[in-house]
Amino acid sequence: MTRIRHAPIAPTRTQRLAHGGTIDAHRHDNHQIVYAGRGVLAVTTSSGSWVAPGNRAIWVPAGTVHAHLAHGELDLHLVGLPATHNPLGLDVPTVLAVGPLLRELIIAYTGVPDDDTPERARLRAVLLDQLRASPQQPLHLPRPAAPPLRTLCEILQADPADNRTLAELGREVGASSRTLSRLFRSDLGMTFPQWRTQLRLQHALVLLAEKEPVTTVAHQCGWSSASAFIDVFRRTFGHTPGSHPAE
């Protein structure tokens, strides 16, 4: 049985992780904002995974058991907030958009000593104001519970470019497409195409952090062409993969 580390207070600090570096499963008694100033960060819990590039941050509520994984060289900025203060009103991990001002506020706040000076309090207040105004982003890949669905998802996670239909995959896992379609909606809250697109976008972020060419990323993630990939990526993230902010 894996031992879950309990770190009572989530620190406010900057930490560097090499590509592939991890922070094992742990939990805090307070909330945490996790931001990758460089590289791409993956946060995993028992209910799924969240991936955030340099223009996204992840809100991790107090008490959530979570682990970190670095894709690319990672500059990790951690902001701890008291459990009694939930400025976003969120009780599940959530990806938030990070604009240029919020990015600089997070970097400045985590780069100086954690003290109670009036200057730091003002910086924190502006940071929280910016967070409240940050739109939530659909970058959650939920983890299935039903055995046939779990097997199907593991097949696609091993090869996101697998383009088989739900019926074809169903024959491999021993379930009808109708049953699997129902499970995707009831178990994961999304359709099969929506889940597969989320998986492919997460994988694309990882490959881009590893400096893979856009065309290579498109094909390894299952898109029929680079232009189709670029279109989906731009509609999801607001910019093209060629201008992806990995640093």
Digit-coded pLDDT (tens) for 93-141 = 888 989 899 999 999 999 877 777 888 889 989 999 998 888 877 678 8
Residue listed under structure tokens 């599940």: 92
Last residue of a domain, which of 74, 107, 137? Answer: 137
Per the structure, the complete domain to which residue 44 belongs is given by 5-137
Which residues pair with residue 32 across a beta bridge? 60, 80
Last residue of a domain, which of 87, 118, 137? Answer: 137
Are 12 and 133 found together in one domain? yes
Last residue of a domain, which of 94, 115, 137? Answer: 137
The whole-angstrom separation of Cα 43 and Cα 209 is: 15
Tokens describing residue 70 = 């670095």
Terminal C-alpha separation, the chain: 37
pLDDT in tens, 23-62: 999 999 999 999 998 888 889 988 888 888 888 899 999 9
The count of structural domains within the chain is: 2
What are the C-alpha distances in Å from 80 to residues 28, 44, 46, 77?
9, 18, 22, 10
Which amino acid is residue 187, in one-letter code?
D
Tokens describing residue 25 = 């499963």
Are 89 and 174 found together in one domain? no
What's the pTM? 0.79
- The CATH number of residue 100's host domain is 2.60.120.810
The whole-angstrom separation of Cα 110 and Cα 12 is: 6
